[in-house]
Amino acid sequence: MSKLLSPIINPKDLLELQDSSEIILIDARAGINAEENYKKEHLKGARYVDLNRDLATVENNPANGGRHPLPSFEKFSAVLSKIGISPKSHVIIYDDKNGSNAAARFWWMLRSVGHEKVQVLNGGLQEAIKIGFPISSEIETFNSTEKYPISDWKLATANIDEVEKARNSSQNIVIDVRDKNRFDGLTEPLDLIAGHIPGAINIPFSENLNEDGFYKSPEVLKEKYTAILGNKNPEDTIVHCGSGVTACHTLLAIDYAGIEIPKLYVGSWSEWSRNDREMATKNKM
241 is a catalytic site residue: yes
Rg from Cα positions in the chain? 18
Reduced to 3 states, what is the DSSP secondary structure of residue 58?
A: coil
Reduced to 3 states, what is the DSSP secondary structure of residue 271?
A: helix
* Per-residue burial over 201-214, b = 16 or more CB atoms within 10 Å of its CB, e = otherwise: eebbbeebbeeeeb
Rounded distance between C-alpha atoms, residue 79 and residue 53, angstroms: 9
Q: How far is CA 188 from CA 96, 191, 194, 210, in A?
A: 22, 6, 5, 25
Furthest-apart CA atoms within the chain: distance in Å: 56
| Secondary structure E strands in the chain | 8-9, 23-27, 42-43, 47-48, 90-94, 118-121, 135-136, 173-176, 201-202, 237-240, 263-264
Reduced to 3 states, what is the DSSP secondary structure of residue 15?
A: helix
Are 79 and 110 spatial neighbours (Cβ–Cβ below 8 Å)?
no
Q: 120, 155, 194, 241: which one is catalytic?
A: 241
Return the active site residues: 241
